[in-house]
Structure 1
Amino acid sequence: MVYSALILSLVLIIFTLGKSPFFRVDRAGASIIGATLTIITGVMTFDQAVKTVDYRTIILLFSMMLISSYMNVIGLFDFLGYYAMDRLKTAKGLLGIVIGMTGLLSAFLINDIVCLLFTPIVISLCRRAKLQPIPYLLAVALSSNIGSAATLIGNPQNILIGSLSHLAFGWYMLLALPISILGLFLVYGVLAKVYAQELSQPLNLPEEQLRTKPIPRILLIKGIVILGAVVLGFSLGPEPALVASLGAAVLLITRRLKPNKVYAGIDYNLLVIFIGLFVVVGGVEQSGLFTLLIGKIKMINFQAFTVLTVVLSNIVSNVPAVMLLKFMIPAEHSSLWWANMAIFSTLAGNLTITGSIANLIVVELAKKSGIKIGFGDYLRIGFPITIILVLIGMLYFEVLI
């Protein structure tokens, strides 16, 4: 029990800081080291550690990454960005399109990957149109988190929650969609207000600036059909991991694309983080530490659980927070508690610039392009939006209960 407590503490410290203060160890490294220590200290045997890994989650996450990467390789993200720019006349109109596209894509393609692929396109569009890029980049970060809350495949923690809870895909989507739609409108309203001067100029781009490489129609149709079939499959109830892996497999059957280009879009670090955390948290559970701690904690109510989800998600990141909080979900009305955790652990990512990996991806890509998004720049937009949405969400769930 002592070993498992120390290992979990060390891993969570590195997750909170983003890296080790003494060694060049990142979150993925911390997961590997923590999992290894869990086994060699005798907390669990190797065979027990293997059984703690939820392979449904890993397969589902990997398959959705393949589908997202395929969409990028065929040029879907570039096409959507330049297609929208070609038909817009105002900077505010572009902001609305960026928010809408990012939110929609993030609902069905993992939000971290959407940010990774869409951010450079937004930067390019802003530079060609001579627009201030910061409000548009903030829109990408904020909308990716809010949009991804709408489904159980929109982000890594929701994929995990979907696998652990076996929530019905359609039921959860109907429950979460109103909050996501309201959140996207809120993002537009706040950004339009705060950056009113920067968003007041018209768009005047020469026609040649809007040209992009033609997208292979057959590949585009294939990608959209398969993605639609995968989402429909989730709604009908078969095993989500099998549905997603079948969709990814069909997309890989092609004569036009080199498979390595698709594989390059997979975030292997994230997969390693998941596997390592499964082992570390499984070790803590195996040791009896969680049983001891939960036995000493009085049953918290639904509202307190919401606040704890938001706070813990910002301290240790969303995925570790979900793995820890799952032990506090009661058997009664468990579906609503799981849905609560999925929505609020995702919305929590917008509280600060370090609240989610999606935010950090946008900030780092902007930094590489010479655009600085400061902590304060993000906080004055993300903090009020998150607080307002969390309060509205709590009232929403109060009605449902």
Structure 2
Amino acid sequence: MDSTVLAIFLVVYGGMILGKVPGLALDRTGVALLGAIALLATGKLTPGQAWGALDGSTLALLFGLMVVSAQLRLGGFYSELTGRLAATDIPPSRLLALLVLTAGLLSALLANDIVCLAMAPILVVGCSRRGLDPRPFLLALACAANVGSAATLIGNPQNMLIGQTLRLSFGGYLLDAVPPALCGLVAVWWVVRRQVGSDWLRGTVVVEPQAPPFDRWQSGKGVLVVVLLTAAFLFAPWPREVLALAAAGILLCSRRMRSGNILALVDWHLLILFIGLFVVNHALASSGLLGGGFALLQRAGVDLARPAWLFALTVPLSNLVSNVPAVMLLLPLADHPLSGAVLALASTLAGNLLVVGSIANIIVIDQAARLGVAISWREHLRVGVPVTLITLGMAALWLWIRWQFPG
């Protein structure tokens, strides 16, 4: 047993659980990066081995899609869409349904974290203007973004990682994920609607945040690229990471929108988190400790090669260490035909259970708090628990049907 590698791994994943290292001003990204540096400093990995541990295709896909999303954000697309949505003259329950559908669709095609970051402040302002309590709509936004992102292999970082690592078909995954995702969006609306009852109104005065002005040309260009890119993912023979980078390159060649402004909105922290975890997990696997741990589970009757066991373990692990680290740990066991869909759906839908289960949840609550709207963990729990249980049940049932009747 390599005690140094094990100690570094435990510190890193302890940091994933706590979100920090006690006594140090390190977040999850800092902890993962520090773990990778420690492995190099102690000689457990050479720089060449650490470089070889990185999954370049996943990192390239992530980066490319972040640039596309940044284009839409700077063009004011998210702000304009959310503002128009909130101002729509329809009853609150229908507004809630429209919000859930919009957030779910956007999150399926773009990074759900960016969708929440851009939509949450405008949603608070829109609800304030109408005298509506923004909290149900914000909770619906977070839950719908998570559920909608589960529908595709580009909806969130863990799905991108799963799709790239397992070389999953973009269209094939849609058959596994779209039905439970659509049903899950209905469940989000139903749960939030029941929680609210008839108590929609609340006087909330907020300071309106500055949002990028709406630029029809830049937003239209971004939307066109998203449509063409999605079609290319479905039908073109080229690798997804190459297509995403090509899309990013086209958008960076602009006469009006500065490339520095676009690149400033790339989530470099998330990319560094991936890099650190790739290195740490590679060291653990190379030492034999990861395989030994899985062998112990198998001797105890937990066969993670079976979809049911993989599904059952992914849910609590995703809430314990967050979904990206959980997926990285479990991917080496994903050799069943349904393993990719199991990992993607279970890890993503489990994110609605707790506030810390998904970055999207944290973003929405943080953005709301900056505008004076407080959402407690209990309020989130009252929505998150039933949404998680219902959507996971739907996903498990659909995957079982898909396995029993593959045609």
**Cα 1:53–1:291 shift into 2, 3 Å:** same
- 8 Å Cα contact 1:352/1:382 also seen in 2: yes
Instruction: Indicate the larger mover: 224-233 or 342-351.
Output: 224-233
Contact 2:75 2:216 in 1 (8 A): no
**TM-score normalised per structure 2:** 0.92
What displacement does 1:86 show?
Answer: 4.0
Q: Which runs of no fewer than 5 residues in structure 2 stay unpaired?
A: 203-207
State whether residues 91 and 200 of structure 1, in contact with CA within 8 Å, keep that contact through their aligned partners in structure 2: no
Moved more, 36-45 or 99-108: 36-45
Of 304, 312, 337, the residue aligned with 2:339 is 337
Determine if contact 1:43/1:287 at 8 Å carries over to the other structure. Answer: no
TM-score normalised per structure 1: 0.93
Does the CA contact (< 8 Å) of 1:68 and 1:110 recur in 2?
yes
| Alignment correspondent of 2:157 | 156
User: Aligned equivalents of 2:112 and 2:256: distance in 1?
Assistant: 26
Residue 396 of structure 2 corresponds to residue 399 of structure 1: no
Aligned to 2:262: 262
The runs of 5 or more residues in structure 1 that have no matched partner are: 202-208
Matches within 5 A, 1:166-245: 166-199=167-200, 215-236=214-235, 237-245=237-245
Q: What are the superposed Cα offsets for residues 324-357 of structure 1, whole Å, 9 maximum, x if unpaired?
A: 0112223xxx331111101110000001111111
Contact preservation (8 Å) 2:187, 2:390: no
Residue matched to 2:367: 365
Counterpart for residue 54 of structure 2: 53
1:295 aligns with 2:300: no
Residue 346 of structure 1 is matched in structure 2 by 348
- Report the Cα offset of residue 213 of structure 1: 8.4
SS at match of 2:152: coil
Q: In the TM superposition, what whole-angstrom CA distance separates every residue of 1:105-140 from its partner, at most 9, and x where no partner exists? A: 100110111111111111111111121010010011
- 1:214 is displaced (CA, Å) by 7.0
Percent same amino acid among aligned pairs? 37
Hey, what does 1:138 align to over in structure 2?
A: 139
Q: Which residue of 2 aligns with 1:277?
A: 277
Alpha-carbon distance change, 214 to 69 in structure 1, aligned in 2, over 3 angstroms: closer
* Aligned counterpart in structure 1 of residue 319 of structure 2, from 277, 295, 314: 314
Give the AA of the match of 1:148. S
Contact 1:329 / 1:337 at 8 angstroms: preserved in 2? yes
Verify the 8 A CA contact 2:109 2:149 in the aligned structure 1.
Answer: yes
Which letter maps to 2:377?
F
CA distance in 1, matches of 2:115, 2:152: 15
Aligned residues: 390
Cα RMSD, aligned residues only: 1.8
Contact 2:79–2:214 (8 Å) recurs in 1: no
Runs of 4+ residues over 6 Å off in structure 1: none
Alpha-carbon shift at residue 264 of structure 1 (Å): 2.2
| Whole-angstrom distance in 2 between the partners of 1:380 and 1:219 | 40
Which amino acid in 1 is paired with 2:193? A
1:44 lines up with 2:45 in the alignment: yes
1:183: Cα distance to partner?
0.7
* Counterpart-to-counterpart distance in 2, 1:86 and 1:29: 41
Question: Retained in 1: the 8 A contact 2:76–2:214?
Answer: yes
- Do the aligned residues in 1 keep the contact of 2:19 with 2:28 (CA within 8 Å)? yes
- 1:111-122 → structure 2 map (5 Å cutoff): 111-122=112-123
1:326 aligns with 2:327: no
In structure 2, the partner of 1:387 is 389
Q: Is the 8 A contact 2:32 2:273 kept in 1?
A: yes
Q: How many Å separate the matches in 1 of 2:196 and 2:151?
A: 27
C-alpha spacing 1:115/1:214, structure 2 compared with 1 (3 Å): closer
- Between 1:300-309 and 1:6-15, the stretch displaced more is 300-309
